[in-house]
Amino acid sequence: MSDNDWVAGISKKDAGRYSRQLLVDDFGVSGQKNLKNSRVLIVGAGGLGCPVATYLGAAGVGTLGIIDYDHISLDNLHRQVAYKEAQIGHSKAKGLADNIKLQNSDVNTVVHNVSLDSSNAMDIFKNYDIVCDCTDNVATRYLINDVCVLLNIPLVSGSALRWDGQISVYHYGPECPCYRCLFPSPPDPNSVTNCNEGGVLGPIVGTIGSMQALEVMKIAANVDSTLAGKLLLFDGREGKSRTIRLRKRDTKCAVCGDNPTITAPVDYVLFCGAGAHDKIENLKLLEPTDRLNVEEYRDIRGAQKQFLLDTRPPVEFEIAHLPEAINITLNECRSLTPHDLSSRLEVDSNTSDVYVICHRGNDSQRAVLLLREKLNSIRFRDIIGGYEEWALKINDKFPLY
C-alpha cells in the first residue's frame, strides 16, 4: 500500500487548521482554497480595519495588504482592539500586520505605511483582488471607489459613528452600483461628523468590521447573496438591523457609467472641500483682539473670578471643565433669547467681559460671533485652542479626550 492512498482537496496542515470553516456548507474546501489565493487590501487600520484584518488573517486569506499612515494612540485602544498598550506610538499598518502574523504565520502581509492619494492609489490597488474601505473621511472614500472601478475590483465598504454602522458592497457585478452612483456629489464638509467629534463605541465598529470580513470571504468563495446592491443599516442602540435594496448602477455615473468622464483618479480634497483625514481643522473666525491665549486666561482668572461660557455638549462637559465654567452649548447660543442667555450665565448689566471656551477652539469662535449679536453690551472673547491647549500649556492633569 502506498503512503498516498487517498485523494486530498487540501493539505493536511490546512485541513487541521481550518477544519471548522471547511465544514460549513457553501464555503468548504473550494472556499478555503479561493480565500488562500485571494489578495485583500484593507484601507485604514482603525476601528474597522482591526476586525477585518484579524478575522481575514485567522481565516487564512492568502495576502493581506494594510494601508495606514497614522500611529497608534491611547484614545484608539477602546475600539482598535488588535493593538496593545506597548504599541502606542508605533505605525498602525505595521503594528496590525505584526499582530496578524503572530496569529497566523501563513498569511502574507504587506505593509503600506503611506497616506493614500491620487498619485499612489492605482499602483497599490492593482496588486489586489478585493478592497475593504475602513477609512474615516469622505475624500478617501471617493478615491477608493474610483480606483476600484477603474481597476474593476469589488469594494467592501464599512462605516460607523456613535451607535450606528453601515455596510455595503460596491462595484461587484454588472448591475451593482458604485459609491458615486449613490452619491454623485459629496456632502457639505460642514455637515460631516467624524469619530473624533461624534464618538463611536467599539462593538459598533467591531460588528461592522466583522461583517466586512464575512463579505470578503463570500466574495472570495464565490458565494452569492453578498451585500452587493444592498445597504445594511445597523442600529446598535435599538439592537436592530435592516438591509435595504439600493438603486442599480447609474448608466450616467461619472466613473462606472457607460460613458465615464473620470478615467483616472482626480483631486479628491478639492472635490470634497475637505482633507483626506478625520482630524479637526483649526478655524480663524475672529480678530486677534477678540481672542486670548490660555496663559492670558490663567492670569486673569487668578486675579478674579471670571465668567466662562463652555460651549461643548454636556457629555464632554461632564468629562472635565474649569470650575467657573457654565455649560451653554453652541446650539443653545443660537436658540436661546438674550434674556435666557443672561440668566443662564448669571451676568448682569455690570458684566463687561465673558470668556468662551470649547474643546479645541473652533466652536468657541462660532459662539462669540453669535453671542455678541445677542448681548452687545458684553465683550465676548474666545480662548485660543480651548481645553486641549489648556491641558498642554497650563495643567497637564486636565483630562484630555
Partner 1 sequence: MSSTIPVTIDFSGGAEFLVKAKVQKVQIPEESTLRDVLKFVRDNLVTDVHRINMLLNDDASEVAHGVITLINDTDTGLLSEYDTVIEAGDTITFVSTLHGG
Binding residues for Zn(2+): 178, 181, 253, 256
Single out the segment in contact with partner 1 by CB under 8 A; choices: 5-13, 243-251, 348-356, 390-398.
243-251
Q: Name the residues annotated as catalytic.
A: 195, 358
Q: Which residues from 174-193 bind partner 1, rule CB under 8 A?
A: 182-183, 185-188, 190-193
Q: Which residues from 151-170 bind partner 1, rule CB under 8 A?
A: 158-162, 164-166
Q: Which is nearer to partner 1, 35 or 45 (CB)?
A: 45
Q: Which residues from 320-339 bind partner 1, rule CB under 8 A?
A: 331, 334-335
- Which residues are documented as binding site? 47, 68, 75-79, 92, 136-137, 178, 181, 253, 256
Nearest of 184, 193, 332, 388 to residue 271 by alpha carbon:
184
Nearest distance in Å: CB 83, partner 1: 15
When asked if residue 395 is in the footprint of partner 1 (CB under 8 A), the reply is no
Q: How many CA atoms lie within 13 A of 162 on its CB side?
A: 8
Q: Which residues from 199-238 bind partner 1, rule CB under 8 A?
A: 200, 205, 231, 233, 235
When asked if residue 69 is in the footprint of partner 1 (CB under 8 A), the reply is no
When asked if residue 244 is in the footprint of partner 1 (CB under 8 A), the reply is yes
Q: Which is nearer to partner 1, 119 or 185 (CB)?
A: 185
Q: Which is nearer to partner 1, 42 or 64 (CB)?
A: 42
Q: Rounded distance, CA 344 to CA 340, Å?
A: 6
Pattern 113-152, partner 1, x by CB under 8 A: --------------------xxxxxx--x-----------
For residue 264, the one-letter residue type is A
Nearest distance in Å: CB 341, partner 1: 16
Q: Which is nearer to partner 1, 188 or 267 (CB)?
A: 188
Name which position in 9, 16, 89, 198 contacts partner 1 (CB under 8 A): 198
Q: Which is nearer to partner 1, 125 or 179 (CB)?
A: 179
How far is residue 116 from each of residues 119, 122, 275, 276, measured CA to CA in Å?
Answer: 8, 10, 12, 9
Burial class, 20, CB count within 10 angstroms (exposed 0-12 / middle 13-18 / buried 19+) = exposed
* Residue 385 in grid coordinates: 485652542
Residue ranges in contact with partner 1 by CB under 8 A: 44, 46-49, 133-138, 141, 158-162, 164-166, 182-183, 185-188, 190-195, 198, 200, 205, 231, 233, 235, 242-248, 278, 331, 334-335
